[in-house]
Amino acid sequence: MSGLFEVRRRVAHGAGLEAAVAAGESLASAGALLSAWEAARREVEGAGDVVQRLLDERGVTDVVVHSGRVWVDRGAGVEDAGVALGGEREARALAVQLAARAGVRLDDSRPIVDGVLPSGVRLHAVIPPVAADGTSISLRPLRPGDFGLAELVRRGMCDEGAAEVLRALVHERANVVIVGATGTGKTTLLAALLGLVGAHERIVCIEEAAELRPRHEHVVHLQQRAANVQGRGEISLAELVRAAMRMRPDRIVLGEARGAEVRQMLTALNTGHSGSWFTLHANSAEDVPARLTALSGLVAGELALQAGAALDAVVLLRREGGVRWVSQIAAVSGSEVLACVPVAVRAGPDHPTAGVAEALSQWQRSSL
C-alpha cells in the first residue's frame, strides 16, 4: 500500500511514469504499477477513476453526471453509461473536487461554475438549490483537432461540394460565422478549417476555455479568466479580442460568441482583420441577425451597418439522430437590414449539397 501511496503522491506533484516506476518498486508487478499510475493520473489530473475512463474513450464527446448517475455521448446521442458514482453526496463531492482542480470555487455562494481541468477537459457544474434535482456535472473532452476536413467528409459532416465551398471561404479570407445548436460540431469543423490556413499565417484563438487545437504550427491561444473570490482579476473575451488586434494576427478566431465580445469582434473585422471566424449558437442562418443584435447590444440598423460590412458568410450545422452535417452556407449582406440568405443547401445527411456553383461564384476574391 505504501508503494501505491507514493505513486499517487508523485503523480500529484507532476511526476511522469518513470518517476512513478522508481516509487512503485514494492508493487507486485509492472502491470500493477501501470494500473496504479493510470488510476492516480485519473484521480489527480482528470475527473476521477470512473468518469475519466469514459472521457478517455475514443469517440466520446460528452460525459454528464446527474445525482450520481452517469451518462455518455459517443457520437450517437446521450445514453446511460452503466456506471454510478453513488448518490447526491458523491456527485456533489466530485463537482467540488473538479472545480478545485479547474482553479474555481464551487459552493453555496457560487453554485454554477465553468472551468478547464488540467487534462484539458471542459467542466460545467451546478449544485443545489440552483440544480433543483441534484448536482449536475457536464464534461467535454478536448479532442476537436483529431479530424481534418477530408476526415469530416468521410464521416459525412459535409460532402465534397460543401467542402469545396468551405475551402474557398478559408483561402479567399472570408469572414465567417459557424452556427448551430449545442453538440452540432461547430468547434470540430472550425478546428478542421483552421488546419487549411497557410503555414505562414499567425492565428490568434480566443476562447472561454481552450478547446480549439487546429493542425497549424502558428496558433496563439488566449483564454478568458474568471474573477477570483474577491471579485478581482477578471479578463473577459471582449478584452481578449482587443488584445488580439494588437498581436499582429493574420486571422482572429473567437471560439464562441456569447455577449459583448460580438461588438469587439465586428470592430476587429471592420479594421482589416480578414479571414477571421467565430461560432454562435443559433438554429438557422436566418436567426443570425437577431442573435447578433441581442448579444452585441447594438440597435438593428447599427448592427446591419457593422455586420453587413464585416461578415461574408454563415455556415449552419445541424444534428439529427446522432448525425451532424453542414446544412447551409449563407451569404451575408445589408446596410440597413442585415440578411443571411442560404446559397448552398444540404437537406439532410443523405442528400447532396445544392447550389455549390453559385456559392463558389458568390465568394470569389473579387466579391469579398
What is the per-residue pLDDT across 151-197, written as a single tens digit (0 to 9) for each? 999 989 999 999 999 999 999 999 999 999 988 999 999 999 999 99
Whole-Å CA distances, 348 to 3, 33, 315, 318, 326: 56, 50, 15, 9, 9
What pLDDT is attached to residue 1? Answer: 47
Which of left, alpha, beta for 90 (phi over 0: left; psi -120 to 50: alpha)?
alpha
CB 85 within 8 A of CB 78: no
For residues 309-333, average pLDDT: 93
Confidence of residue 357 (pLDDT cuts 50, 70, 90): very high
Instruction: Produce one character per residue of 345-361: b if its CB has 16 or more CB atoms within 10 Å, e if not.
Output: bbeebeeebebbeebbe
- Per-residue confidence (pLDDT) for residue 18, from 0 to 100: 52
pLDDT tens column, 10-20:
544 555 545 54
CA atoms within 13 A on the CB side of 75: 12
What average pLDDT does this structure show over 298-304?
Answer: 89
Domains of the chain, CATH where assigned: 1-44 (no CATH), 47-142 (3.30.450.370), 144-367 (3.40.50.300)
Question: Do 274 and 173 contact (CB within 8 A), yes or no?
Answer: yes
The confidence score (pLDDT) of residue 336 equals 81
Sign of the Cα pseudo-torsion (204, 205, 207, 211, in order): negative
pLDDT at 355 over 90: yes
Does residue 40 have a pLDDT over 70?
Answer: no
DSSP single-letter state for residue 327: E
pLDDT tops 50 at residue 314 = yes
pLDDT at residue 79, rounded to an integer: 85
Predicted TM-score of the model (pTM)? 0.76
Of the candidate ranges 70-84, 253-267, 291-305, the one whose mean pLDDT is the lowest: 70-84
Report which residue type is found at 106: L
Mean pLDDT, rounded, for 324-339: 90
What's the rounded Cα separation, in Å, for the pair 141 and 57?
Answer: 10
Contact 210, 141 (CB under 8 A): no
Question: Residue 296: pLDDT above 70?
Answer: yes
Question: Residue 7 pLDDT > 60, yes or no?
Answer: no
Name the more confident of 312 and 35: 312
Average pLDDT, the chain: 84
Range of 214-218, 224-228, 307-311, 363-367 with top mean pLDDT:
307-311
Q: What mean pLDDT do residues 339-368 have?
A: 86
